[in-house]
């Protein structure tokens, strides 16, 4: 009898997160429907994802190629999958081929991966893939991402040289010490101003993906339109079940 209780808890937690996100958007003067909550389901079973899906949620995120290519074909086709984080170039075709409903790639962090994605989308004949560029706002060597000073040049590269990718925004993971999070969020917001100016687009055409379970409300208040919430919805992760990327 324990399993249904856990699954029921995920749906209850989802509703709470959606309500908190709505209130944060209202405090920021943002239309709540402009803020997307990505339910990050890494290491979680399909049965739990299906419970959240059945509650009406459609946007889910995964971090490991081996995991998403196993899960996606077994789940409804109208799920909007986000792949989040660094991707090895030799896994690009595997990911795109197995997940036709991959809606957004959060984590283009260098020209090589941009080129591989661009070519793979073309060869598979699928619609242009929406991408966020990953920015290392914390300066940590352990984090993937481009330096903030390189944002404009890289955004121009993707926009002009990768016709099968649709530049859709910027993302950051921030720091584990969340006391410095506002500074990271502000850095990403400033990057968006510069990128929009250089590309001649409005800020509405450049999303900000920042904020996770512990800080998504603050992120929304600081302009995030895409928050990635995992453990607050699904509960603590069992990394012993983690699959390699």
CATH number at residue 60: 3.20.20.10
Q: How far apart are CA 169 and CA 192, in angstroms?
A: 8
Which phi and psi (to 5°) does residue 51 adopt? Answer: -60, -45
Instruction: Report, as an integer, the average pLDDT of 122-139.
Output: 95
Residue 150 belongs to some domain of the structure:
yes
Number of domains in the chain: 1
Range with lowest mean pLDDT among 20-29, 94-103, 140-149: 140-149
pLDDT value of position 178: 53
Strands in 96-190 per DSSP E = 102-108, 129-134, 165-171
Q: Which has the closest alpha carbon to 170: 154, 192, 187?
A: 192
> What is the per-residue pLDDT across 53-72, written as a single tens digit (0 to 9) for each?
999 999 999 999 999 999 99
Contact yes or no for 165/202 (Cβ under 8 A): no
Residue 29 belongs to some domain of the structure:
yes
pLDDT value of position 182: 87
98: pLDDT strictly greater than 70: yes
Contact yes or no for 104/78 (Cβ under 8 A): no
Domain range enclosing 102: 9-229
Residue 88 belongs to some domain of the structure:
yes
Average predicted confidence (pLDDT) for the chain: 92
Residue 56 belongs to some domain of the structure:
yes
Residue 118 belongs to some domain of the structure:
yes
Residue 39 belongs to some domain of the structure:
yes
Instruction: State which H helix or E strand residue 228 sits in.
Output: strand 226-229
Instruction: Report, as an integer, the average pLDDT of 76-85.
Output: 97
Residue 61 belongs to some domain of the structure:
yes
240: pLDDT strictly greater than 60: yes
Contact yes or no for 24/221 (Cβ under 8 A): yes
pLDDT value of position 139: 81
Specify burial of residue 216 (Cβ count, 10 A radius: 0-12, 13-18, 19+): buried
28: pLDDT strictly greater than 80: yes
Residue 93 belongs to some domain of the structure:
yes
> What is the per-residue pLDDT across 155-211, written as a single tens digit (0 to 9) for each?
999 999 999 999 999 999 866 655 557 899 999 999 999 999 999 999 999 999 999
pLDDT value of position 1: 43
pLDDT value of position 12: 96
pTM of this structure: 0.93
> Residue 88: which pLDDT band, with cuts at 50, 70 and 90?
very high
């Amino acid at each position: 009898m324990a399993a249904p209780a856990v699954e029921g808890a995920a749906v209850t937690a989802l509703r709470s997160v959606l309500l908190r996100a709505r209130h944060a958007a209202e405090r920021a003067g943002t239309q709540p429907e402009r803020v997307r909550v990505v339910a990050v389901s890494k290491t979680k079973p399909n049965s739990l994802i299906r419970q959240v899906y059945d509650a009406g949620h459609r946007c889910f995120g995964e971090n490991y190629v081996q995991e998403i290519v196993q899960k996606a074909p077994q789940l409804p086709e109208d799920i909007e999958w986000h792949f989040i984080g660094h991707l090895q170039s030799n896994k690009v075709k595997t990911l795109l081929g197995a997940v036709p409903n991959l809606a957004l790639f959060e984590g283009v962090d260098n020209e090589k991966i941009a080129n591989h994605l661009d070519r793979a989308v073309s060869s598979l004949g699928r619609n242009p893939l929406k991408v966020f560029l990953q920015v290392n706002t914390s300066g940590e060597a352990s984090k993937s991402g481009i330096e903030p000073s390189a944002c404009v040049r890289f955004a121009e590269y993707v926009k002009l040289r990768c016709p099968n990718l649709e530049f859709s925004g910027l993302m950051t993971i921030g720091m584990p010490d969340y006391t410095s999070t506002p500074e990271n969020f502000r850095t990403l917001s400033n990057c968006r101003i510069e990128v929009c100016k250089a590309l001649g687009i409005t800020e509405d055409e450049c999303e900000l993906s920042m904020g996770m379970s512990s800080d998504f409300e603050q992120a929304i208040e600081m302009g995030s339109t895409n928050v990635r919430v995992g453990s607050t919805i699904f509960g603590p992760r069992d990394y012993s079940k983690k699959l390699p990327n």
